[in-house]
Structure 1
Amino acid sequence: MTIQDLALSLDGYAPSPAVIAAEMAIVGAAIQSRSALDEASATVEPADFFRPAHRLIFAAAQAVLAAGLKLEPTAVLEELQKQGELPRVGGGPYLHTLMRHAAWGNIGYHADLVSGDAQRRRVQLACQAGARRTESPAWDPDLDLDHIRKQIDEAAVRRTGEMPSGVADEMVALLEELENPPAVRPGVAPPYRDLQRLIPSLLPGGLYVVGARPSYGKSTVGVDAAREAAIRQGVETVVFTLEMPKKQLLQRITAAESGVQLGSIIEHTVTRAELERITDVGVRICTAPLTIDYAPGCTVERIRATLRSKMRTSPAGLVVVDYLGLMRGPVRAESKQQEIAAITGELKIMAGEFEVPIMLLSQLNRKPEERADRKPQMSDLRDSGAVEQDADVVILIHRDKDPESPRSGEADLIVEKNRNGPTGVVAVASQLHYARFVDMAPNHTAPSGRPNLRAI
């Protein structure tokens, strides 16, 4: 049973006389005029009316129209009689009363009054339901708080009365945008120059998967993306770290920003000059719009609750989740594959719901180690093919760990899937002693002589 179904269960609630008069004006016109019914239906629905009689009569008028019959009071009366609801609404005499109170020419004004009162009832009921939920011995902060917020947000939604339109306005806007490109590109720029040639922006609503074997640098790419967004671009960024405590993640950010070796920071052996550099970057880090949530066993519900809470003050512009394999999925999942599929599906929906790009880090299975070149493929994403299906972009990391290799200081970011652009391979310099990857020199070429950016 929905909040709308229970709207009359509010103890002691009574709308103002103006709301009741507006209901009568709408229903009185709706049973006589198709245009009045259509205009009212764009803003209100039967559940929005406070009086049960008005709900039933308005729904009956809609049923008459849906059946292809001519809309008139007699047809509505017959529909109510067929449903067995005519006695509940007061019979034919009450329909005559409504007809005398019908509004003509100002349906929108009356519909706004009814819609606003219905919204207030829904919010009150959602708050009451939330209060009851807090009294349950099975209270789960992550799950229940998100449920309460979601119920209140849904209760607060009002129909606008605007009908779907054609594409002309959007097409004109697109042409204007192409002629006069916006000064600021939508989304968040990726952290590496050559990667930006393949993926200019991490776009709102997109799910970006970064996959690698353990210790190949997937967390480093996630941190680089978070640093680029929060510190360089001033974008509100939230990092959900399931494996690395907040202090360790902050040590990595500090090393990457200051150019002080991570080992020195961890072991507290920095020099005076290095400490001064760390102090300088510490100011930038402190003032950056960056939130780190250390949440072992993090659930989709926790991420959604955090983003919903931030929507009210500072909506997130980038979300980084490190990493997929440690997340807890729905209790009902029968296998790890189903659990992973449910998680990635929900994250993709969430990216659209909150209009934010989500970068999801994921481990690869052992298949790359069985290949001669050890290069990963998209099918190596662990536990579920749903990961590659849900992702808008899949980036796989490959490094040659042989210290004698001519490419030992490099890493390849393999853009294996790109829903909005080309795929390709991007080389970056590996500076893991500073906990970062950085751009290659502008004139760098791969050992084969080919450019390090190879669009496929």
Structure 2
Amino acid sequence: MNDAARKLAPLAKDQAEQHYREAPNNLEAEQALLGAILVNNDAFYRVSDFLKPVHLYEPLHRRIFEISGEIIRMGKTANPVTVKTFLKADEKVGDLTVAQYLARLAAEAVSIINAEDYGRAIYDLALRRSLITIGEDMVNIAYDAPLDMPPQSQIEDAERRLFELAETGRYDGGFQSFNDAVALAIDMAGQAFERDGHLSGISTGIHSLDGKMGGLQRSDLIILAGRPGMGKTSLATNIAYNIAAAYEPEVQPDGSFKAKNGGVVGFYSLEMSSEQLATRIISEQTEVSSSKIRRGDISEADFEKLVACSQMMQKVPLYIDQTGGISIAQLAARARRLKRQRGLDVLVVDYIQLMTGSKKSGENRVQEITEITTGLKALGKELNVPIIALSQLSRAVESREDKRPQLSDLRESGSIEQDADVVLFVFREEYYVKNMEPRDEFDPKYEEWKMQMEKVKGTADVIIAKQRHGPTGTVKLAFQSEFTRFSDLADPSFTQYEH
């Protein structure tokens, strides 16, 4: 053996000993937990809210846990005798048959009191195994450098998988049993019953709108569209502030917080700066005109109002991101981060046409908008929050006699209309009537115009043009233009009618 070979020999031996690393697991903890469940079925309910069969390392243990859970949920008793009938009789565990192994688990069972501790240990090890899988995938993809996954895409994919793992303890997606889906639907109905106003979704703070929509539903993409000057940003700002101001947290069993009423709001303001947005909200809350606030044309009493309002607003969980031209990937990454750090219940994007797609070569604007709306819909489902996305309307509205918007007026409408769960149009007839004022007040048409103006002054229509789980129709609201505030009309009989 030459010198080089002699030097490499011990190194090769060390590497051979080190190269095999077993994935983190604790079979003794799994055995102890299963034994506790087989002896006393109450142990199952101590862990069933967070521990799933997939979290156990040993395949046989997974099957025992799954079968025991199904038996217990049916109101029957899970013990070595009832569980063994669902497992292969000829299966061996070392020298033991399955029946003998189940009996051994029960015989050596620890106290039910320790069940939750064992469950947590198993769950944490499962998370570590998932982290190793994600880490190995990251390393392998980075080494391979595939053309269809540039580094930026890999970062986004890793961030998404890590977020899902942090949120739910699993990142594999897959099918959900109808049983689980029904349980979720019943839970939602129960929460709606307990929540203020008995809404299944999050209240917008505008009762007549809530009456039609049942609040903002989780994972819905809500498109709020209108021509410039109609007040779509004002309505979005009003709703965002109402939700944030109504926020009432409730502590969950695992120590995290969940919104009992209202919610934490993330607001992407691509058009206005955060300072302009704050000025609008202060104006709406204090009833001091925003133009006066900007000019400093305010009295001492008004200034005191502003200070008191700003102190109250500091506690409101409304977070503003004013990055212009943000891409859908950046927006998703920041939303995930906000949800992890502060919580997130509603997302507002003002507005779609100011966002950018991934700009693949040869892609036109329609394809880019399609990518953005599809991305927003997917993000809403991933984060389980409603997303209110504002959109512009095409100029076709202006050339028509009837200025009321229709679904076909949505710019690049195909994808926006298709991906949206709800489409709302803001329409203020007052804006158009005001522009038709006759120049001469002695004109015979002036009185007619004046009467029409009186009829529409201070009102706005929110047209529900599409709604997957509710009626379409129109909701009439009050609008105070000097404070950019939408609210319910004083006369409830005048509020809404259905198509």
Q: Same fold (TM over 0.5)?
A: yes
AA of the residue aligned to 1:277? K
What is aligned with 1:369? 398
What is aligned with 2:237? 223
What is aligned with 2:282? 254
| Equivalent of 1:428 in 472, 477, 480 | 477
The worse-fitting range, judged by mean Cα deviation, of 298-307 and 219-228 is 298-307
| Equivalent of 1:397 in 418, 426, 436 | 426
Q: Does 1:379 align with 2:387?
A: no
Q: What does the per-residue CA deviation read over 1:359-387, in whole Å, with 9 as the maximum and x for residues that have no partner?
A: 11000001111110211101111013111
What is aligned with 1:412? 461
Q: Does 1:150 align with 2:151?
A: no
Q: In the aligned structure 2, how far is the partner of 1:170 from the partner of 1:296?
A: 41
Q: Does 1:240 align with 2:268?
A: yes
Deviation of 1:418 after TM superposition, in Å, equals 1.7
Q: How does 1:40-59 map to 2 (within 5 A)?
A: 43-44=53-54
What is aligned with 2:384? 355
Q: Does 1:453 align with 2:496?
A: yes
Q: In the aligned structure 2, how far is the partner of 1:293 from the partner of 1:201?
A: 24
What is aligned with 1:439? 488
Q: In the aligned structure 1, how far is the partner of 2:484 from the partner of 2:208?
A: 19
Q: In the aligned structure 2, how far is the partner of 1:225 from the partner of 1:373?
A: 28
What is aligned with 1:88? none
Q: In the aligned structure 1, how far is the partner of 2:225 from the partner of 2:299?
A: 36
Deviation of 1:14 after TM superposition, in Å, equals 4.0
AA of the residue aligned to 2:319? T
Q: What does the per-residue CA deviation read over 1:252-304, in whole Å, with 9 as the maximum and x for residues that have no partner?
A: 11111110001011112221111111111112211111101112112222232
Structure 2: runs of 5+ lacking an equivalent: 1-17, 32-51, 60-87, 107-114, 248-261, 438-451
Shift of the 336–190 alpha-carbon distance from structure 1 to 2, 3 Å rule, reads: same
Q: Does 1:301 align with 2:329?
A: yes
Q: In the aligned structure 1, how far is the partner of 2:269 from the partner of 2:227?
A: 17
SS in 1 for 2:304: helix
Equivalent pairs, count:
377
What is aligned with 2:95? 100
What is aligned with 1:181? 193
SS in 2 for 1:287: coil
SS in 1 for 2:314: helix
Question: TM-score, with normalisation over the residues of structure 2?
Answer: 0.64
SS in 2 for 1:389: helix
What is aligned with 1:264? 292
Q: In the aligned structure 1, how far is the partner of 2:142 from the partner of 2:288?
A: 48
Question: TM-score, with normalisation over the residues of structure 1?
Answer: 0.70
AA of the residue aligned to 2:193? P
Q: In the aligned structure 2, how far is the partner of 1:167 from the partner of 1:214?
A: 45
Q: In the aligned structure 1, how far is the partner of 2:288 from the partner of 2:142?
A: 48
Shift of the 372–278 alpha-carbon distance from structure 1 to 2, 3 Å rule, reads: same
Contact 1:49 1:118 in 2 (8 A): no
Shift of the 239–172 alpha-carbon distance from structure 1 to 2, 3 Å rule, reads: closer
Q: In the aligned structure 1, how far is the partner of 2:477 from the partner of 2:176?
A: 50
Shift of the 304–49 alpha-carbon distance from structure 1 to 2, 3 Å rule, reads: farther
SS in 2 for 1:429: strand
Contact 1:133 1:139 in 2 (8 A): no
Q: In the aligned structure 2, how far is the partner of 1:413 from the partner of 1:434?
A: 18
Shift of the 256–176 alpha-carbon distance from structure 1 to 2, 3 Å rule, reads: closer
Deviation of 1:214 after TM superposition, in Å, equals 1.6
Identity value in percent: 27
Deviation of 1:118 after TM superposition, in Å, equals 5.6
